[in-house]
Structure 1
Amino acid sequence: MNLPALQKGDAVGIVCLAKKVSPDEILAGVQLLESWGLRVIIGQSVGAEDRQFGGSDELRTADFQQMLDNPEIKAVISARGGYGTTRILDQIDFSRLQQNPKWVVGFSDITALLCHLQNLGIECLHATMPLLMGQPDTAAADESLRKALFGEPISYTVPAHPLNQLGTATAPVAGGNLILLDTIVNTASDLNYNGKILFLEDVGEYYYNIDRVLVHLRRMGRLSQLAGLVVGQFTEMQDNAVPFGKTVEEIVLEHCAGYGYPICFNFPVGHVPRNLALVVGREAALEVTPEGARLEFL
């Protein structure tokens, strides 16, 4: 069941699930949300500090919990990513959220939470966050978040890529940050990949480590039964003194080729200004043709 669309006047909460952030750093994002007619409630974890985190685990847990449980708040948005979400996931009580689902928004380190929610049957948004919003080059990402929150149709068309694998698929969308997907294997947040349109992105990783993680997923059988694969942006990639010798696209094809499902490369999702919102857990139609690729949520 699709989550209810937001209406002007609705309240949305902003919390720090991972790395610390100051109120000033998210001011442009807050102002943008308010320009959409939303009332923004800033959580106690915004501006809090405990080493690199937005407050202690206990503070971040309590802040997120009260946002989830407050019926007046219609969406909870992570202020930023970084690291720390998995530290608090097992302390969150999702029972009220299951009874009255609301939007939860974020990406990068928030991937673990999005996967956990999908396991509970709750749609959520892999999308930009307040730290990154309200800039001239983020207009497309910001608008895609607005459309998703307010229940407008979502479909994206991207140019053809020479390594795309042609085909069509209709299935629920799942995925996020590749390293986080590997981190949550065999935990309560782990995904069932079978029959899903999987999307992947990452930032600042070594080529060999991308290969190592995909080898791990392949050996577990996670890549063989996908309905489709959407490969997003792998930015700020690093290499060793002796180069690994393959691009991310070539690494992906080595581990996924032969399975027969469509593969779309260079999709605008990830650690880039044009980070388009994807509804995790919602069915979508993926079509990859010689002219390009289209992803349309149903």
Structure 2
Amino acid sequence: MIFPVFPKKGDLIGVCAPSSGVGHKMEPFDRSLDCLKAQGYKILETGSVRNEDDRSADAETRGREFDQLMADRRVRAVISASGGDYNIEMLPYIDSELVRENPKWIVGASDPTNILYYVTTKLDIATMYGFNAGTFDWVPIHQFQKNAISILKGDIITQESFSMYQGARTFGDDVDLDTPVRWRLLLPESTRKKGSGILSRGGSPMAESESRFSVTGRLIGGCSDCILNLLGTPYDGTGDFLKRYGDEPVIWYLDDFAMDAPSLLRFIIQMEYCGYMKNAAAIVIGRVMFQGLSEDQDYLDELAGGLRIPVIFNADIGHVKPAFTLINGATGTFTFENGKGSLAMKL
């Protein structure tokens, strides 16, 4: 695994828009960039960042702007401006040899999963998930945003679950951390035999637990809605990733944007059928942004009845803030106890 050099004070950070432009939210975006500049970073934006459309530009233009930042040796990290829906369109225009020759931190959250997952699984370069260039617009900034900046600088702190989260699933300036954080843990009632797979073959092999639990493995994941669309494409390097690291345990972390409970279980089953869960030590799932008709208990019931692998649910990961920053390719240790949790990472 290639771990790029972390950007230092005075370094140049490139910002591109591989998905949506930020033209509809210029004031908070500039506030976020001011926060990064206050850390000593210089910012270089590509031409499409401030466009307003759901596609900041056509796919080829987005790919070309990304490649320009990767080729620019002054740029020490490349951060996506925002999320969106159409990042997957630009993947054919990424110059993979250019990325290999100039490894640098590629950072994003939500739709930019498409780039991060491809670069880590296919090209064996670590990437950073959890924030975009527009993430730092809260006033004052929250501890999760301070943590993200620390990790961007290379200070790989242990992240602790927070006390409250944004219960109302909203985007924009209105942030109300109004709901107590409570991680949920499902543990198999019997030990899974090596090579026997993660799927339940009948019965209910999982039970919720409040006891202390810790698991270590190589981290890989992102927005599950995006990963689903990558499966089986030329940009899905999961098989290569698992082969490179042999029998090393893997922790899958999933940021569920809009999968209801049955859809999430079917996605994990599909991953198992692809052979992608064979070394899975655990699955860590964030708070679901848009649950559809499902409630938290529906997710727990589906996972408990369909799987037999440790699952942490409602973790501080993903769209529902506050959230952790995770490094794809790092070794991570998740620890759970009495509804709270932490993540320690090492490169």
- Mapped to 2, the partners of 1:251 and 1:199 lie a distance apart of 17
Shifted more, 221-230 versus 65-74: the winner is: 221-230
What's the offset of the Cα at 1:167? 4.4
Amino acid at match of 1:20: G
What's the offset of the Cα at 1:270? 0.8
For 1:142, the equivalent position in structure 2 comes to 145
For 2:95, the equivalent position in structure 1 comes to 93
- Mapped to 2, the partners of 1:135 and 1:294 lie a distance apart of 23
For 1:52, the equivalent position in structure 2 comes to 54
8 Å CA contact retained: 2:184, 2:314:
no
**Which of the residues 201, 204, 211 maps onto 2:265?**
211
Instruction: Name the TM-score, length of structure 1 as normaliser.
Output: 0.88
Render the CA deviation track for 1:182-230: whole Å, top value 9, x for unaligned: 1111123322485311101122343343233233223334335302221
Amino acid at match of 2:271: L
- Secondary structure at 2:185 match in 1: coil
Instruction: Name the TM-score, length of structure 2 as normaliser.
Output: 0.76
- Mapped to 1, the partners of 2:78 and 2:186 lie a distance apart of 35
- Mapped to 2, the partners of 1:180 and 1:160 lie a distance apart of 26
- Secondary structure at 1:235 match in 2: coil
Shifted more, 120-129 versus 221-230: the winner is: 221-230
Amino acid at match of 2:288: F
- Secondary structure at 1:5 match in 2: coil
- Mapped to 2, the partners of 1:201 and 1:37 lie a distance apart of 30
What's the offset of the Cα at 1:71? 0.5
Superposition pairs for residues 4-153 of structure 1, below 5 Å? Answer: 4-22=5-23, 23-48=26-51, 52-119=54-121, 120-136=123-139, 139-153=142-156
8 Å CA contact retained: 1:173, 1:198:
yes
- Mapped to 1, the partners of 2:232 and 2:50 lie a distance apart of 33
What's the offset of the Cα at 1:70? 0.4
- Mapped to 2, the partners of 1:245 and 1:268 lie a distance apart of 15
Q: Work out whether 1:163 is the aligned partner of 2:185.
A: yes
What's the offset of the Cα at 1:246? 5.2
- Secondary structure at 1:284 match in 2: strand
8 Å CA contact retained: 1:3, 1:123:
yes
- Secondary structure at 2:315 match in 1: coil
For 2:343, the equivalent position in structure 1 comes to 295
8 Å CA contact retained: 2:120, 2:329:
yes
8 Å CA contact retained: 1:228, 1:286:
no
- Mapped to 1, the partners of 2:89 and 2:130 lie a distance apart of 21
8 Å CA contact retained: 2:11, 2:42:
yes
% identical equivalent positions: 21
For 1:3, the equivalent position in structure 2 comes to 4
- Secondary structure at 1:77 match in 2: strand
For 1:254, the equivalent position in structure 2 comes to 305
Render the CA deviation track for 1:76-114: whole Å, top value 9, x for unaligned: 110111112111112211323322311111011111111
Shifted more, 244-253 versus 104-113: the winner is: 244-253
Q: 1:137 to 1:188 in 2, by over 3 A?
A: farther
8 Å CA contact retained: 1:144, 1:277:
yes
What's the offset of the Cα at 1:155? 1.4
For 1:273, the equivalent position in structure 2 comes to 321
What's the offset of the Cα at 1:35? 0.7
- Mapped to 1, the partners of 2:108 and 2:94 lie a distance apart of 17
For 2:164, the equivalent position in structure 1 comes to none
What's the offset of the Cα at 1:284? 1.7
8 Å CA contact retained: 2:225, 2:257:
no
User: Which residues of structure 1 form unaligned runs of 5+?
Assistant: none
RMSD across aligned C-alpha pairs, in angstroms? 2.5
**Which of the residues 178, 203, 206 maps onto 2:224?**
178
Amino acid at match of 2:343: L
- Secondary structure at 2:143 match in 1: helix
Q: 1:291 to 1:30 in 2, by over 3 A?
A: closer
- Mapped to 2, the partners of 1:10 and 1:102 lie a distance apart of 12
| Large movers: runs of 4+ above 6 Å | none
- Mapped to 1, the partners of 2:300 and 2:143 lie a distance apart of 24
8 Å CA contact retained: 2:33, 2:134:
no
- Mapped to 1, the partners of 2:129 and 2:259 lie a distance apart of 20
- Secondary structure at 2:232 match in 1: coil
User: Which residues of structure 2 form unaligned runs of 5+?
Assistant: 162-180, 188-211, 243-248
